[in-house]
C-alpha cells in the first residue's frame, strides 16, 4: 500500500523524502506539535544540507569551532522583523556592510551572526554549521522533516504569522467544493488524471494529503507566484502560505475547511547537539530566551502611573483594587507623594503604578478616573522578567538537564 501511494505521488521533492522522525517537542503549542508530527516512514535519506564531499571535508572544523553561531534570515519579510525584534531586546545586530553575510551582537561577544536564506538556516542547523536560528515554523517543519536534533526553543516570536493551506479555484468544478472532504470525494481524481497540486512545501504537502487519505495526487514544485498555476491551467490546487488571504482572493482561489497544513510564526530554533556539546550555546540560548520572553511579555502591557488623593496607602489601595482592570501583575504599587506645605512635609497624594494590558488601556484609565486618579502617565515597558521563564524550564527538561 505504501509503495503504491509513493508511486502515485510524484514530483521533485517528494521522490527524495527522508525518513520522518519524531516531531520537535519543545515549547510547541499543542496544535503545532500535532500538525508537525511526521508521516509514516518511507525511503530513508538525510536532509541534503551540503553535498557530501565538502561536508566531510568541513567536519573537523565544525567540531573545533569555539564561537557560537546564529542564523538570521538574509532577505524577505522575516529579515527586517528579526533585526527589529532583536533590537528591541537590546541585541542590535551590527553589520558593517549590507552585502556581508556575517555580523555580530555587541552584547554577546561569543556569538557570530550569519545571514542565510530561511531554508538554509534549517539545513545548517542540522548539518552542525549553525547552532541557533530564527526562522518560520513552516520552514522548520518543511526542511527539518521531524529531525529530533532540531529543538524549538521559542515557538511564538509574534511575527511572520501565516498558515500553510490548501486552496482551489472558486469556480468551475470546484464551485461546490468547500471542505477537504469534498475535494477527497471528487470522482475526477484517478490514477490517469490525478489531482495536480503545486507547492513549495513538498514534504509537508505530501504528508498532509496522504494522512487525509488522498491517493491520486501529483505534486509540482514551484517557488513563487503559485496562485497563478490554477488559472493558467497548470495545477488544480495549491498548497501555499496564506496570511491576509488577499493573494488567494485576487486570484479567484479559496481555502478549504480542514485544509490548513500547519500554522506558522517566527521561532527560535536550536541544534540539540550544539546545546549539549558546544561550549556557550546553552548560556547564550538562556540569555536570548530570557530577553525574548521578557520583551514579548512586555509588549502586550503598559505601565500606567497616576496620582490619587487619599488618607493612607491602604485606603487608596481599596479604591484601586475595587476596579477590575487595575489589579496589575501582582497588584498596584502605591507610594506616598511627599509635598512641603508651610515648611512642613506632608502626604496628600499617592502615586499608583499599575501594569495593564494594552487592550484594556482605555478602560483602565476610565476606571482610574472614576476612583479619583489624575495626572495619568502611560509608558511602554521593555521587559517583564518573571522569576523563571517557563520555556527555559521546558528546554532543560527536554535536554534532560
Ligand X SMILES: O=P(O)(O)OC[C@H]1O[C@H](OP(=O)(O)OP(=O)(O)O)[C@H](O)[C@@H]1O
Per rule CB under 6 A, is residue 131 in the interface with ligand ATP? no
Residues in 256-315 that interact with ligand X by CB under 6 A: none
Does residue number 252 form part of the binding site for ligand X (CB under 6 A)?
no
Quick one: what does residue 78 bind among ligand ATP, ligand X, none, with the CB cut-off 5 to 8 Å set by partner type? ligand ATP
Neighbouring CB atoms inside 10 A of 100's CB total 9
Q: Does 243 bind ligand ATP (CB under 6 A)?
A: yes
Q: Of 29, 77, 185, 309, which one interacts with ligand ATP (CB under 6 A)?
A: 77
Please report how close the Cβ of residue 227 comes to ligand X at its closest, in angstroms.
6
Q: Please tell me whether residue 247 binds ligand X under the rule CB under 6 A.
A: yes
Locate 154 and state its grid cell.
Answer: 521559542
Candidates 16-24, 62-70, 235-243, 331-339: pick the segment binding ligand X (CB under 6 A).
235-243
The three-state (H, E, C) secondary structure of the chain, written as one string = CHHHHHHHCECCCHHHCCCCCCCCCCCCCHHHHHHHCCCCCCCCCCCCCCCHHHHHHHHHHHHHCCCEEEEEECCCHHHHHHHHHHHHCCCCEECCCCCCCEEEECCCCCEEEEEECHHHHHHHHHHCCCCEEEEEHHHHHHHHCCCCCEEEEECCCCCCCEEEEEEEECCHHHCCCCEHHHHHHCCCCCCCCCEEEEECCHHHHHHHHHHCCCCCEEEEECCCCHHHCCCCCCCCEEEEEECCCHHHHHCCEEEEEEEEEEEECEEEEEEHHHHHHCCCHHHHHHHHHHHHHHHHHHHCEEEEEEEEECCCHHHHHHHHHCCHHHCCCCCCEEEEEEEEECCEEEEEEEEEEEEEEHHHHHHHHHHHHHCCEEEEEEEECCCCCCCCCHHHHHHHHHCCC
Question: Cα dist. 60→34, 53, 57, 64, 280 in Å?
Answer: 37, 13, 7, 6, 19
**192, interface contact from ligand ATP, ligand X, none, CB < 5-8 Å by kind:** none
187 is a site residue for ligand X (CB under 6 A): no
Size of the site for ligand ATP (CB under 6 A): 15
The CB-of-200 to ligand X minimum distance in angstroms stands at 8
Q: Which residue has the cell 505601565?
A: 303
Is residue 368 a contact residue for ligand X (CB under 6 A)? no
Q: Where in 357-386 is the site for ligand ATP (CB under 6 A)?
A: none
Cα–Cα distance measured from residue 152 to residue 394, given in angstroms and rounded to the nearest whole number: 11
Specify the stretch interacting with ligand X by CB under 6 A; choose among 146-154, 180-188, 244-252, 282-290.
244-252
CA-to-CA dists, residue 287 to 152, 251, 271, 281, angstroms: 15, 44, 16, 10
Using CB under 6 A as the binding rule, whether residue 51 contacts ligand X is answered as no
Q: Does residue 246 touch ligand X according to CB under 6 A? A: yes
Residue 160 lies near ligand ATP (rule: CB under 6 A)? yes
Q: Which does 136 bind (CB under 5 to 8 A by kind): ligand ATP, ligand X, none?
A: ligand ATP
Binding residues for ligand X, rule CB under 6 A, total: 11
Of the candidates 152, 270, 137, the residue with the CA atom closest to the CA atom of residue 204: 137
245 binds, among ligand ATP, ligand X, none (CB under 5 to 8 A by kind): ligand X
State yes or no: residue 71 binds ligand ATP (CB under 6 A). Answer: no
Q: Residue 249 interacts with ligand ATP (CB under 6 A)? A: no
152 is an interface residue for ligand ATP by CB under 6 A:
no
Among 36, 70, 78, 296, binds ligand ATP (CB under 6 A): 78
238 lines the binding site for ligand X (CB under 6 A): no
Interatomic CA distance for residues 16 and 12, integer angstroms: 7
Q: How far is the CB of 303 from ligand ATP (least distance, A)?
A: 30
Asked if 84 interacts with ligand ATP (CB under 6 A), we say no
Binder of ligand ATP out of 126, 199, 264, 271 (CB under 6 A): 264
Instruction: Among 60, 224, 343, 400, indicate the residue that binds ligand X (CB under 6 A).
Output: 224
Smallest gap, in angstroms, from Cβ of residue 335 to ligand ATP? 44
Residue 244 contacts ligand X per CB under 6 A? yes
- Binding of ligand ATP by 202 (CB under 6 A): no
For ligand X, the binding residues (CB under 6 A) are 224-225, 227, 240-247
For ligand ATP, the binding residues (CB under 6 A) are 76-78, 118, 136, 138-139, 160-162, 223-224, 241, 243, 264
Amino acid at each position: 500500500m505504501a509503495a503504491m501511494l509513493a508511486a502515485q505521488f510524484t514530483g521533485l521533492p517528494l521522490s527524495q523524502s527522508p525518513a520522518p522522525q519524531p516531531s520537535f517537542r519543545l515549547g510547541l503549542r499543542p496544535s503545532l506539535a500535532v500538525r508537525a508530527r511526521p508521516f509514516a516512514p518511507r525511503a530513508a535519506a538525510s536532509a541534503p544540507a551540503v553535498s557530501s564531499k565538502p561536508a566531510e571535508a568541513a567536519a573537523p572544523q565544525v567540531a573545533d569551532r569555539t564561537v557560537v553561531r546564529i542564523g538570521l534570515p538574509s532577505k524577505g519579510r522575516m529579515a527586517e522583523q528579526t533585526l527589529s525584534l532583536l533590537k528591541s531586546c537590546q541585541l542590535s545586530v551590527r553589520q558593517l556592510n549590507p552585502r556581508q553575510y556575517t555580523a555580530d551582537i555587541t552584547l554577546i561577544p561569543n556569538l557570530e551572526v550569519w545571514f542565510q536564506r530561511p531554508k538554509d538556516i534549517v539545513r545548517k542547523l542540522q548539518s552542525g554549521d549553525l547552532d541557533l536560528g530564527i526562522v518560520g515554523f513552516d520552514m522548520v517543519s518543511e526542511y527539518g522533516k521531524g529531525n529530533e536534533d532540531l529543538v524549538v526553543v521559542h515557538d511564538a516570536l509574534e511575527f511572520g504569522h501565516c498558515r500553510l493551506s490548501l486552496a482551489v479555484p472558486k469556480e468551475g468544478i470546484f464551485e461546490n467544493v468547500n471542505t477537504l472532504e469534498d475535494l477527497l470525494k471528487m470522482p475526477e481524481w484517478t490514477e490517469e488524471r490525478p489531482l495536480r497540486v503545486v507547492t513549495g512545501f513538498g514534504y509537508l504537502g505530501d504528508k498532509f494529503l496522504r494522512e487525509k487519505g488522498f491517493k491520486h495526487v501529483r505534486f509540482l514544485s514551484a517557488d513563487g507566484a503559485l496562485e497563478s498555476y490554477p488559472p493558467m491551467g497548470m495545477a488544480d490546487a495549491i498548497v501555499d502560505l496564506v496570511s491576509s488571504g488577499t493573494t488567494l482572493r485576487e486570484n479567484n482561489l479559496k481555502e478549504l475547511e480542514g485544509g490548513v497544513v500547519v500554522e506558522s510564526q517566527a521561532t527560535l530554533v536550536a541544534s540539540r547537539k550544539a546545546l549539549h556539546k558546544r561550549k556557550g550555546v546553552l548560556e547564550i540560548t538562556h540569555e536570548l530566551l530570557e530577553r525574548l520572553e521578557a520583551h514579548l511579555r512586555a509588549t502586550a502591557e503598559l505601565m500606567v502611573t497616576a496620582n490619587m488623593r487619599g488618607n493612607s496607602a491602604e485606603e487608596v489601595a481599596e479604591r484601586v483594587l475595587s476596579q477590575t482592570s487595575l489589579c496589575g501583575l501582582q497588584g498596584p504599587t502605591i507610594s506616598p507623594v511627599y509635598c512641603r506645605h508651610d515648611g512642613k512635609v506632608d502626604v496628600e497624594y499617592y502615586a499608583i503604578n499599575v501594569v495593564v494590558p494594552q487592550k484594556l488601556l482605555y478602560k483602565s484609565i476610565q476606571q482610574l478616573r472614576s476612583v479619583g486618579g489624575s495626572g495619568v502617565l502611560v509608558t511602554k515597558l521593555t521587559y517583564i522578567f518573571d522569576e523563571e521563564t517557563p520555556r527555559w524550564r521546558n528546554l532543560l527538561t527536554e535536554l534532560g538537564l
